[in-house]
């Protein structure tokens, strides 16, 4: 009997054959929460469930990334509350500056192929990059896992993306992620897992870009079958492979040979056009970072485009590495020095300006080119500000010219 990767992961977790559509109760392998929501989850556990401690501390991991380091007394106090709780309960946590939860859990080998990884964060779909079932939940759901060790889930059907060909110069994983949004729409994968096929050659960082954005189409999870680089870096269970005759809820084909650089224009993630449509438009700020595009390879791509040139004086360029590890990698060669010499500023590894809380919040009518994943109105600051979502290559090319620029035109 053939199964989707999602059905295989749930079958393994439950020790019986599971099919899409079933509601199951499982013990997730990992439950992640970060500084923004963990204080509230502690309150639900203590005040609503009436419990002082968690059922299974080994299942849990905390990160400090959303407002890191703390920007106000309030956020500082909330962070201290999380640290104290973590120490009392023996829960692993990653301090301010270590990086974005979704990056750190993969770097640390906490998210593994075949695992069920749930997070109090919608971009927990990112763990599909290593072949895990990753999904986001709200605070009460997560508090219930803290209290019981378990949660209920409906096993989702799977939508297949069949990719053909390879990226052309100047085009990369972010363009594919945006293109998928353009094809499927912001709700086109609601309640579904997306499986991305035809990408065995794609390195880990590109898989992370794709899977982080699965949730932008409403998906419950996004999984790239763990092949290629993933098999070299992780232990892939022998049951975790794609059955050749699996049938999918829907299949969408995308040809990379003809894919152009894509850009999401304000204020919707699926409001995506070819870059030529908006080339030449003005903007004020570039934000290179986030769980979608804040890794070494993203900084490297930008540095190679910018090398030897200066960033336009019309714009500011903020870089927030996804983790301390990625920052160190960018320091080991001339990536970081190139970007700083060109006029970019580096902020603490973490989420940075992505949610508009610090390190690059937008003012009235500010226009930002972001390598992030959401351009909702007001997400990065004032509701009159605008966000365009772009690849690192488009960000870098546009930084030099000071207007939106196709990297192939340089």
Partner 1 sequence: MVHIWKFGDDIDTDQIVPGRYAPYMRPNEDVADAAFIEAHPEFNKQAVAGDIIVAGENFGCGSSREYAVLALKRRQIGAIIAKSFARIFYRNAINLGLTLIEAPQVVDRLSDLDFCTLDLEENRLIVRNSILRLPEIPPFAREIINAGGLVAYIQTNGRLPGE
Which residues of this protein are in contact with partner 1, per CB under 8 A?
23-25, 35-37, 39-40, 44, 48-49, 66-67, 72, 74-75, 77-78, 119-122, 124, 136-141, 143-144, 147-148, 150-152, 186-187, 190-191, 218, 220, 268, 355-357, 361, 374, 376-379, 381, 383
Q: Is 279 in the site for ligand SF4 (CB under 6 A)?
A: no
In the list ligand SF4, partner 1, none, the entry touching 4 (Cβ below 5 to 8 angstroms by class) is none
Between 152 and 239, whose beta carbon lies closer to partner 1? 152
Between 30 and 259, whose beta carbon lies closer to ligand SF4? 30
Long-range contacts of 20-25 (CB under 8 A, 24+ apart): 20/155, 20/156, 20/157, 20/158, 21/154, 21/155, 21/157, 22/154, 22/155, 23/152, 23/153, 23/154, 23/155, 24/152, 24/153, 24/154, 24/155, 25/150, 25/151, 25/152, 25/153
Between 338 and 373, whose beta carbon lies closer to ligand SF4? 373
- Residues 285-314 close enough to bind ligand SF4 by CB under 6 A: 290-291
Q: Is 123 in the site for ligand SF4 (CB under 6 A)?
A: yes
Quick one: CA dihedral 66, 71, 77, 80, positive or negative?
Answer: positive
Q: Min. distance of Cβ 258 from ligand SF4 in angstroms?
A: 29
SS3 state at 370: strand
Confirm if 198 and 215 have CB atoms less than 8 A apart: no
Confirm if 275 and 263 have CB atoms less than 8 A apart: yes
Out of 107, 121, 195, 297, point to the residue binding ligand SF4 (CB under 6 A).
121
Beta pairing, strands 116-119 & 158-164: unpaired
Between 105 and 311, whose beta carbon lies closer to ligand SF4? 105
Q: Is 100 in the site for ligand SF4 (CB under 6 A)?
A: yes
DSSP state of 29: S
In the list ligand SF4, partner 1, none, the entry touching 174 (Cβ below 5 to 8 angstroms by class) is none
122 strand-pairing partners:
none
Max CA distance (Å), the chain:
61
Site stretch for ligand SF4 (CB under 6 A), options 19-27, 336-344, 349-357, 399-407 = 349-357
C-alpha separations of 359 from 131, 296, 370 in Å: 32, 19, 13
In the list partner 1, ligand SF4, none, the entry touching 165 (Cβ below 5 to 8 angstroms by class) is none
Q: For ligand SF4, how many residues bind (rule: CB under 6 A)?
A: 12
Q: Is 107 in the site for ligand SF4 (CB under 6 A)?
A: no
In the list ligand SF4, partner 1, none, the entry touching 291 (Cβ below 5 to 8 angstroms by class) is ligand SF4
Is the bond preceding 69 in cis, omega lying within 30 degrees of 0? yes
Separation of first and last alpha carbons in the chain: 52
């Amino acid at each position: 009997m053939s199964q989707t990767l999602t059905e295989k992961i749930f079958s393994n977790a439950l020790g019986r054959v599971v099919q899409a559509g079933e509601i199951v109760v499982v013990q997730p392998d990992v439950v992640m929460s970060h500084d923004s929501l963990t204080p509230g989850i502690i309150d639900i556990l203590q005040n609503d469930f009436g419990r002082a401690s968690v059922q299974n501390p080994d299942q849990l991991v905390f990160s400090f990334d959303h407002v890191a380091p703390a920007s106000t007394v309030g956020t500082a106090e909330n962070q201290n509350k999380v640290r104290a709780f973590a120490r009392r309960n023996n829960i692993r946590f990653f301090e301010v500056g270590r990086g974005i939860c979704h990056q750190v859990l993969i770097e640390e080998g906490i998210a593994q192929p075949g695992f069920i990884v749930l997070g109090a964060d919608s971009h927990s779909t990112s763990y599909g990059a290593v072949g895990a079932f990753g999904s986001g939940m709200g605070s009460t759901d997560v508090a219930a896992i803290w209290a019981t060790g378990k949660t209920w889930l409906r096993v989702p059907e799977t939508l297949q993306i069949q990719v053909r060909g390879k990226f052309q110069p100047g085009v990369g994983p972010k363009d594919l992620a945006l293109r998928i949004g353009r094809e499927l729409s912001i709700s086109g994968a609601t309640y579904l897992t997306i499986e991305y096929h035809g990408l065995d050659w794609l390195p880990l960082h590109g898989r992370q870009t794709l899977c982080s954005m699965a949730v932008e189409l409403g998906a419950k999870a996004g999984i790239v079958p763990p092949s290629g680089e993933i098999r070299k870096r992780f232990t892939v269970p022998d049951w975790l492979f794609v059955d050749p005759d699996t049938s999918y809820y829907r299949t969408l084909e995308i040809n990379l040979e003809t894919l152009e650089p894509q850009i999401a224009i304000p204020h919707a993630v699926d409001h995506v056009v070819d870059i030529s449509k908006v080339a030449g438009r003005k903007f004020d700020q570039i934000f290179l970072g986030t769980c979608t595009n804040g890794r070494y390879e993203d900084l490297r791509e930008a540095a190679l485009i910018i090398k030897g040139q200066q960033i336009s004086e019309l714009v500011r360029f903020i870089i927030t590495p996804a983790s301390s590890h990625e920052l160190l990698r960018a320091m080991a060669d001339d990536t970081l020095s190139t970007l700083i010499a060109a006029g970019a500023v580096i902020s603490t590894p973490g989420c940075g300006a992505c949610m508009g809380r610090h390190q690059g919040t937008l003012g009235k009518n500010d226009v930002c080119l972001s390598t992030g994943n959401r351009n909702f109105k007001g997400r990065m600051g004032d509701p009159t500000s605008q966000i365009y979502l772009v690849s690192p290559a488009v960000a870098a090319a546009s930084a030099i010219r000071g207007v939106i620029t196709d990297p192939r035109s340089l």
